[in-house]
A and B are shown apart, each in its own frame.
Chain A
Amino acid sequence: DVVLTQTPSILSATIGQSVSISCRSSQSLLDSDGNTYLYWFLQRPGQSPQRLIYLVSNLGSGVPNRFSGSGSGTDFTLKISGVEAEDLGVYYCMQATHAPNTFGAGTKLELK
């Protein structure tokens, strides 16, 4: 199975600070169809996850544009340009290029 390694595991930030989360894959996530099936999710405390980013860099519906995704191949990044209080929680990357779908272990974003 593809292993996704997220760093850092815990991220302390102040409101308004810009932060980045890395997701590195054990295999290239570029599919033979030309797509890269890498996604980002946020799970706020006590809530179901929500999908923020699909196909590396596309914003989900209703997701603020302070979130952005980038990367290719095996290295991917989620950036939050100006953390807000509602952004606190655990962030997960997920790949769906190689069966089975796998998630990273998560990055907890907390207030400094």
Chain B
Amino acid sequence: EVKLQQSGDELVRPGASVKISCKASGYTFTSYSMHWVKQRPGQGLEWIGAIIPIIDTTEYNQKFKGKATLTADKSSNTANMELSRLTSEDSAVYYCARLPDNSRFAYWGQGTLVTVSS
């Protein structure tokens, strides 16, 4: 069974950084890119970027360059996203997702709520 298990909710101070993890199981981690999506409270979905673990190549939405850094740890089958210089605009639920272009099978993590507050 494919599963994407995300790390727990975070409460962080403005200006700080936070790292969210997404542990993949049930498939070969390096065979699929991992996407990250942001959802502010009551709002729609926003694509942050994706990483291809096998070659450590990343693609970012220009809007999130400098804000989000995507990495992948092949030894632990874990994708990570670090968000820096946090402001209230970064308060959101963040999802990791396996979204292959041409496959019936797509999976999402359960989401990680990041709350930026002093």
Contact = CB atoms under 8 A, between A and B. Distances in A.
Contact of A60 (B63, B95, B97, B105): B105
A38 to B, nearest CB: 11
A106 B101 contact: no
A103 B47 contact: yes
Interface string A41-76: 101000011110011001111000000000000000
B99 A102 contact: no
A49 B45 contact: yes
Contacts of A59: 104
Contact of A100 (B47, B105, B109): B47
Contact-residue size bin, chain A (C-beta under 8 Å from the other chain): 20 to 34
Contact-residue size bin, chain B (C-beta under 8 Å from the other chain): 20 to 34
Interface in A22-53: 35, 37, 39, 41, 43, 48-51
Contacts of A100: 47, 49, 59-63
Nearest to A62: B104
Given A49-B95, A100-B61, A37 B105 contact: no
A102 B38 CA distance: 12
A19 interface: no
Interface of A: 35, 37, 39, 41, 43, 48-51, 54-55, 58-61, 90, 92, 94, 96, 99-106
Given A51-B106, A55-B101, A106-B45, 19 more contacts: A35-B101, A35-B102, A41-B45, A48-B108, A48-B109, A48-B111, A49-B45, A59-B104, A90-B44, A92-B44, A99-B59, A100-B47, A100-B60, A100-B61, A100-B62, A101-B61, A103-B45, A104-B44, A106-B44
